[in-house]
Structure 1
Amino acid sequence: MRKKVIVTSAVTGAGDTTKKSSHVPITPKEIAIAAIESAKAGATIAHIHVRDPKTGALSHDPQLFREVVERVRESDTDVILNITAGGGGDWIPSQENPAVGGPGTDIQTPEERHEPVATLLPEICTLDCGSLNFGDQLYISPTDWLRKQARLIQQSGVKPELECFDTGHLRFAKQLMDEGLIDGDPMFQFCLGIPWGADADAETILYMRDKLPKNAHWSAFGIGRYQMPIAIQTMLLGGNVRVGLEDNLYLDKGVFATNSQLVDKVVTFMDGLGTKPMTPQEARIHLKLNNPHGKAE
């Protein structure tokens, strides 16, 4: 187990969770406050999606990302920003004609997915490394699109976090490395417990960890009730952790959480294990991040 661990707070996500908990931030101001409060609780990184301020639904609007980023950067709290570049990838076949997308389908090109990253130059952005049966819909991220998107991220100087929802995604992420599309030491995120991706258990973490390149940084998260058990298991196995309302709404059974409470809870576990969160500035050095807009401590 490492002496210091990178803690990511995924503060809002894209799921239909705003009707389930009033603590899920919706507006850019609320999302920025959640990121700042998470950082004050011990988070190293804030992972950012944006939502339509009127409906709470997923949004891809670059201006909403801009407002979140500017509010965080203008604050007195340092935190590394990790902007989603997963974009529109939801495919739900039409009942009348399964060859076309039905209601709920939301597809963006690689260029559209990359637009907030190109505009705002965060220190990190995500790259979802493959398609997946995601619950009752399909998340689409074809290999040619991923190559194009990886090249765009590379040209921007932003570090990609390679999101692996299943073992094949890990294989393709390494293929991107072999093709010279990932610079420096790669940064992997194991996304566990999502129907119907990789299981949220120790065996899966071990399998995926042991398939990593030797110079890789890695993290893992589990959804729902698996969030804290996976965080603890990941730390014991030498990885970094992610918590937050994107993945889990509850602090305890029947008790809704805030993002900062989830960060505080995992930091408390870390204290018991003899480790502590890495600061944003320590993580910048550790991950060798470009830092066009980050604030030094």
Structure 2
Amino acid sequence: MKLYIIGILAKILGIIIPLLLGVAFLVSAECKVMAFTQRRKGFNVVGLFGLLQPLADGLKLMIKEPIPSSSANSFISIMALVITFMLSLVAWAVIPFDYGMVLSDSNVGIPHLFATSSLGVYGIIMVGRVSNLKHVSSGVLRFAAQMVLYEVSIGPIIITVLIRVGSRNFSEIVMAQKQIWFGIPLFPVSIMFFIFRPAETNRAPSDPPEAEAESVAGYNVEYFLMGFAPPSSGEYANMILMSSLCTLLFLGGWLPILDLPIFQGISGSIRFSIKVPFLLFIYIWVCAAFSRYRYDQLMRLGWKVFSPPPLAWVVFVSGIPVAFDWPP
């Protein structure tokens, strides 16, 4: 029993530690990519090519003196941080990095992700509930409405994949793509899923809840020093999660691009680790290349433009097996 518990703890640490390191260096990569798009150098002082800058920033946050907010309930504020950060880690329990390389190879992988992403809104709502600042309350309301909208839109996209596979297990979804990646037959919804990723993770150009111009960072305005680290880290962890989800659903997960010996010699986890950073690079490039939407534009785009096509695609994909007697 003790060995079983130790094994589970080792698997959990094997996920959390690389994830936290990935979050730290994703911040550095974002700054470097945005600097290159603007013909700047970005981080280049601390460590080789500025690679140790995230560690220096974390140390700076830890050694500075914290100043608690006088207008907020400190306990609820801390609990909101814990809820937000923990839920960003719990979602990784069902994400496979290779065949059999997963903490919980459950048949409820998709519902698990839906549940954790939905519960994440409550942590942000707690922040707005205990704060007396109008900018925080405005940012929280924007965040909640935006999450509801784009989760409603992402749901039908994932349902199209489930209809094709007939399983909610991520490993089975990946293995169903041996012949062809779902990004090809389901190309329209895969592009919509890619577009929804910034809105789901509250990243530019879909980040009105944190807009500096009118909301002065929104729900983050009261968090500073180490209090700012959990929500910020959770946001970057969700970026990695959404890129991993896109890889599993539409890019074949750990499967190779072509059935060639050169690709077969690479382990599945390495192939998975190549696809996810590629999607993260496009993520960051979009943030640097496009300006922020106004909040009314973002909501109108979600409800009137992006919501109907996924629903129509669900009807289309579910109607093909019925019309041609073709089991999904």
**TM class, shorter-length:** under 0.3
- In terms of fraction of residues, the more strand-rich structure is 1
TM-score w.r.t. length of structure 1: 0.25
Bigger proportion of residues as helix: 2
